[in-house]
Structure 1
Amino acid sequence: MDNPLRSLKRVAEIIGNGISQVAEKFDSEDPLIITPYRGFANHEQIFLKGRVLEDENIFQGKTESQIRNIINNLKRFETDEIPEANIVIKCNSQEFGCKSDVEGYFVLNEKWDSPLKEIANDWLEAEVELLYPLKENESRITARAEILFPSRNSDYGVITDMDDTVIQTHVTSLFRLKMLYTTFLKNAHQRLPMEGTAELFQSFVKGGDGKKKNPIFYVSHSPWNIYDLLEQFLELQRFPKGPILLRDYGITPSGHYANHKIESIATILKMYPELPFVLLGDSAEEDADFYIDIAKEFPDRIKAIYIRQTRDTKNARRIKKLIEGSTHVDAVLVQSSEEIRKHAVAWGLLS
């Protein structure tokens, strides 16, 4: 089956090419911006990713205009990347240098001297500055980045898929038409969460005694292009704050589509080797396969796997058999957030 996100990109490119041809005639030399994504760290390692782009001036406010939504989403996919940009990142009185790749991405993944004291709200602030290139009218370009530094008052961490687990995406709709409609014609204010998930995840963060500060991570096959939309959606719907790990379209080999989620989860597990995790996903795609593979690769690290059944499809029935045959990990196929809650309470994960 064709990758749905690749289909979205084809649509964006076809329409975007027409817009680009017109825009080139009215090129206003858009200013450069740094877009840092939320990072995370432990006492030895710090990880932060971001991108250097021309500012497309995407409207972030509330609107009912489908035309504006289409234009905003096309802008997200038709980006003007800045390769070979020199970046400096300052955090906890330390400086780190990075250089952007051909698609404008930069990655900091280095040893560091962590704070000696616990951070009150589990988040550190970093300053990201663009040193080169700078346009003639730009003297200094900076951005604020947030780094998760989890409290020791954690029983476990939470890693969740987003599409049809957190946000209604309609991946299983006929010919993906509803998914295409939702992606291009709706903004963060109009997108809908899966029922009961925000409250459920807030409970997971508080843990079995209701007093913990368990970290949460959001992992999705969606591209980094829509990071701002997903971050705004999570905030509007009052989901607990956490890093969002997406993937790159670009020149990445197609096989990376399947491996991205496994690689992202493995990175998190390695960053926090003493912390067990709860994994949440859905039956629309291959979350169960990925999670069960992770449980095999990291034995005794996965406390529970919850797979929400989105529709009674052939894949959902396959996943049910897969879960029933996976005796090495506690995996459950569920229908609702309330079912997850009841099961988690019984296992002592929630109060």
Structure 2
Amino acid sequence: MRSEGSAPPHGAATAIKALYREVAACTRCPTICGYRKFPWEAVGRPDTGLVLVGEAPGIASIRNARHWTGRAGMVLRGEIRRLGLDLEDLFFLTNAVKCWPEAPGAREANRAPRASEIANCARFLETELRLLDPKIVVAVGAVAARAVLGRQVSFPRDHARSFRQGGRTVIVLLHPSNANRFMGWAAYRASLLRIFRRLARHRPAPLPEVEVAAALIARNGRYLITRRRGGQHLPGYWEFPGGKRRPGESLEACLRRELREELAIEVEVGEEVLAVAHPYPERRVRLHFFRCRLASSRVRPQEGQRYRWVRPGELATLPFPPADATLIRALAASG
């Protein structure tokens, strides 16, 4: 069983995790199609005292199951990475609107959130901020700034301006999608770097890191996947089989052991296809995917888990952990 995550810390994070179950079930907005939103595992760190609020998910970020990974979001990530950090290392990440607002008449295009959608999501954001009680909130874009402050701000005049509200500091930022039009890329990027450098002084100790090996086992153009059971991290999600490396164990030996224990199969471990680092709220996971050849004739689950053989194009239709998103896109494109 892969074990790249576990329950978040007790206290605020546990309460917010319960809140995200409410978010996942919410269908209050008839203007939203599909109710596509981020899972709890995408929120970053709940323990830093810093919250970054965006306007709404974009389609690129929804596909990646990771905040701020569209064209505009990568501007933010590009600057914080110059400090050797990423957004999830420093912030709890959320949005004024929790679902992706799809543009009408367009194929998977973004649009600005509507006032009714912002109002319907207001209680979620208010609850997050109440539970986390952050020292500093960074609101990116006019929609996020208004959702946090309860009033309008004026960009570009108010870009990087700090406000005091309810005992905390709120820093408002011009949205990256408007930066070049209002102030130019060089000045905007420099302002982001200054802010991130200042906020980085607040960061706690780095998250613990675990290494996980997972197998890509193909047969007749289909890949072997297994389903997580109830009581596990991300129950009901599908995964490529594998598990956590033990101290002193090679990744290849880890994979052979896990597959033998879980599925009673023997494999020949081949090349490493992809390695990804993915931050969860409580740990950072480095996940290694290996191509493997099945040497056994039968798959025999030892823990009662379900398994399937699926074509590459089917993978994107099934729920997988966020850390698998990059691989699934690559397999679908090649399949």
Structure ranking higher on relative contact order (CA contacts 8 Å, 6+ apart)? 2
| TM-score (norm. length: structure 2) | 0.33
| TM-score (norm. length: structure 1) | 0.31
